[in-house]
Chain A
Amino acid sequence: MTAPIVETEALTKAFQGMVALDAFDFSVGQGEIVGLIGPNGSGKSTVVNLLTGVLAPTAGRIRVDGRDVTGAPAHEIARLGVARTFQMIRLFSSLTVEENVVLALQQQSGAGYVSSFLQSREARERRLAARAEARETLKLFEMDIHAEKLATDLSIGQQRMVELARGLATRPRLFILDEPAAGLSPVNVDRLITMIRRMRDEFGVTVLLVEHVMRVVQSVCDRVVVLDYGEKIADGAPNVVVEDPKVIEAYIGLGRAADA
C-alpha cells in the first residue's frame, strides 16, 4: 500500500455517553477502493461524518494527505480534496443539474468573489471553463442530456449519477460514497459498479465505499473494513472478510461464531 490519503488514529465519537465509534484505526491508501461495511447502527455514517468534518470527534486524530485535520470545519476538509455523496441524496434543489456540478467546481477553481462581482473577464472565462468541465463529466455518467433540468426533477438513479458527477468533477483525492446503491434498481447498481471502477482506473480517484449491498462491495473493493458496535472487527480482502466468523456473527448473530 502506498502513502495513505486518509488515516485515523484511535478515532472516537460519543453522543452524550453513547459511544458510536470506539478507537477506530484505519487508513485508505492512494488509488485504493476500500469498502466500509457493518450492520445498521455500527457507526459507518459516523465515520463518514467525522472524515468529512460534518461532526467533530470526541477523541483521536484524522489525517488527510499527512495533514492533521482533526476538528477542522467541513469546508476546509472539502478543499483538501475530500468529496462525498450522501445516503439520502443531496443536490441543490433550485439549481439545474449542470449548475449543481458547476457550483462544486467553482469552489476549487472559481474566480474570486470580488472578481466575479465585477464580472471580470477572468471570472467569465473560468465560469465557462467550469461549465465545459461539468458537461464533460455529466456526459461520462450519461447525464448530459439532463443538464438543463432541475436536479430534483430527475429519478433517484439519475440523481445518484449527478451526485457522483458532482464529486468526480472536482477530481477529489478521496471520494467517499455513502450507500450509493441504496434505492437503485439492479440495472442501475450494475452501472454504479462500472462507474466506481472507472473513477479509480481512469481518473485515479481513491474511493471509500460505505455500502450495504454486498454485490457492490464484493465486486469493486480491494479491501473491506467491517464495523460492529463502533468497533473494527475485520480488515482485509473481501472474500476473506465475508468468511470471517466474527463478521458472520455480527451480521447473523445467533452465536454461530462460537461454534465455528
Chain B
Amino acid sequence: MRTNLSLLLLLAILMALVPSVLQGGYFVNVAIVVCIYVVLAASLDLVMGWTGMYSFAHAAFLGVGAYTAAILGRDLGTSFWINLPAGTLVAGLFGLLLGLPSLRAQGHFLAIMTIAFQTVVYLILAQWTDFTGGQYGISIDPIEGFGSLSAYFYLVLGVTVVALIVIRLLTGSRFGDALRAVRDDETLARTIGMNTNAIKLIAFAISSSLAGAAGVLSAYHIRGVTPDDYTVMTSASIVTMVVLGGRGRFWGPILGAALLVLLPELLSGLADYKHIFFGALLIAVIIVAPQGLAGTLAQRRAK
C-alpha cells in the first residue's frame, strides 16, 4: 500500500513537470485529458473490477457532474469551488439510482440496464432544451485565478491525486474486502453477515460521484458542456480502459486510461477511427489477456 502511494506521488511530481518541460499548450491539454480519464477509469473500476458489476453508464455521471456545474454557474452564478463538490454530490445521488437495479439484476442484465440508464441521461441532456441548452449546451467561464492552462492543469492534477488516494484507501480497507466478497460470491457474503445491498449501493454512489468530479473538471477545461460528450461511446471507452489496464488493480485503470488517451494522439491517423480501434482492442484484450496489462504483469512476476 505504501509503495503504491509513494509511486503515485512520484508520478504526480513527474506529471507536474509537463508544462515546464514540454512547451506549448498541446501537451498540457493532453495531460489534463489523461488526468480526467484516469479518474474516470479508476472510479469505474470500483464497481466493475472490484465489485464485478459491469456498467456502461459512467459517461452519464461524467455528464451529470458537468451539467450540474454548468447549470449552477448559469442560474446561481456559483463558483468552481461550490460546483465541484455539488457536481460530485449530484452524480453520487444519480449513482445510487443506478445502484437500485443492481440489487435485483446481475451480469449481462445489469449491463443492459446501465446502457438504458446512460441513454436516458443522454436524451435528457440533449432534449430538455430549456434546462440543459439542448445540443448547444451551456458555456462556462474560466475559474478566477486558474485562467492559465498550466494553473488549471495543476488543479486537475491535484484533484486526480486526491481521488486516487481515496480509491486506494477504500480498496485497501474493509470496504475493499467487501467489494471483492460481493464479486466472488454474493450469497456467501450475505451468509457471513455482510449487507451486500448496502455495499453495492455505496459502491455505485462513490464510483459515480468521482466520475461527477471528473465531469466538473472536464467541463471547466473545455469551458462548456454539450450532450455529445456524454454518450455510450464515451462509457464504452472508459470500460475499454479498465479492461485493457486490468480490472480490480490499482494501476490497471490508470495505465489503461493513459494509454488510450495517448495512443490516438501519437498516431494522429487513428483519431478518426478511435472507436473502431477501441472496440477491436477490447475484443483482443479479453481473448489474449483477460486480466489486462497490470494483471498479466503481476502474473508474470508471480511466476
A residues sitting closer than 8 Å to B (CB atoms) are 52-54, 73-75, 78-79, 83-84, 86, 90-95, 99, 103-104, 106-108, 110-111, 113, 116-119, 123, 166, 170
For B, the interface residue count at a CB cutoff of 8 angstroms equals 24
Q: Beyond A52-B191, A166-B192, is A117–B170 a contact (Cβ under 8 Å)?
A: yes
Of the A-B pairs whose beta carbons lie under 8 Å apart in the complex, a sample of 16, sorted by A's number, is A54-B190, A74-B190, A75-B191, A75-B193, A78-B191, A78-B193, A90-B191, A92-B185, A93-B184, A104-B193, A113-B175, A113-B178, A117-B169, A119-B169, A123-B173, A123-B174
Neighbour of B173 across the interface among A52, A74, A116, CB < 8 A: A116
Chain A residues with CB under 8 Å of B169's CB are 117-119
| Contact in complex: B173, A117 (CB < 8 Å) | yes
Q: Beyond A103-B177, A103-B181, A113-B173, is A90–B195 a contact (Cβ under 8 Å)?
A: no
| Contact in complex: B190, A117 (CB < 8 Å) | no
Bound: A90/B187 CA distance, A = 9
| Contact in complex: A104, B184 (CB < 8 Å) | no
Task: Tell me the dominant secondary structure on chain B's binding face.
Answer: helix
Q: Beyond A75-B196, A92-B184, is A84–B191 a contact (Cβ under 8 Å)?
A: yes
Q: Which residue of A lies closest to B195 (CB)?
A: A75
| Contact in complex: A73, B190 (CB < 8 Å) | yes
Q: Beyond A75-B193, A95-B180, A119-B169, is A110–B174 a contact (Cβ under 8 Å)?
A: yes
Q: Which residue of A lies closest to B174 (CB)?
A: A116
B297 to chain A, nearest CB (A): 17
A164 to chain B, nearest CB (A): 14
- The answer to whether B274 has its CB under 8 Å from any CB of chain A is no
Chain A residues with CB under 8 Å of B183's CB are 94
| Contact in complex: B190, A94 (CB < 8 Å) | no
Neighbour of B188 across the interface among A73, A90, A106, A108, CB < 8 A: A90
Closest 9 CB pairs of A and B: A107-B193, A78-B193, A74-B190, A116-B174, A116-B173, A92-B184, A104-B192, A90-B188, A117-B173
- The answer to whether B194 has its CB under 8 Å from any CB of chain A is yes
| Contact in complex: B180, A116 (CB < 8 Å) | no
| Contact in complex: A92, B187 (CB < 8 Å) | no
B267 to chain A, nearest CB (A): 36
Residue among A75, A78, A79, A95 having the largest count of chain B Cβ atoms under 10 Å: A75
Bound: A103/B189 CA distance, A = 9
Contact residues, B152-191 vs A (CB, 8 A): 169-170, 172-175, 177-178, 180-181, 183-185, 187-191
List 16 other contacts, CB 8 Å, given A90-B185, A107-B193.
A52-B191, A53-B190, A54-B191, A75-B196, A78-B191, A90-B188, A92-B185, A92-B188, A94-B183, A94-B184, A95-B184, A103-B181, A110-B174, A113-B174, A116-B175, A123-B174
Q: Mark B71-87, 1 if CB is under 8 A from A, else 0.
A: 00000000000000000
Chain B residues with CB under 8 Å of A111's CB are 174
B252 to chain A, nearest CB (A): 14
Bound: A113/B198 CA distance, A = 12
| Contact in complex: A92, B181 (CB < 8 Å) | yes
Bound: A75/B196 CA distance, A = 8
B62 to chain A, nearest CB (A): 25
Residue among A79, A95, A107 having the largest count of chain B Cβ atoms under 10 Å: A107
Residue among A83, A95, A116 having the largest count of chain B Cβ atoms under 10 Å: A116
Chain A residues with CB under 8 Å of B178's CB are 113
| Contact in complex: B192, A107 (CB < 8 Å) | yes
B78 to chain A, nearest CB (A): 29
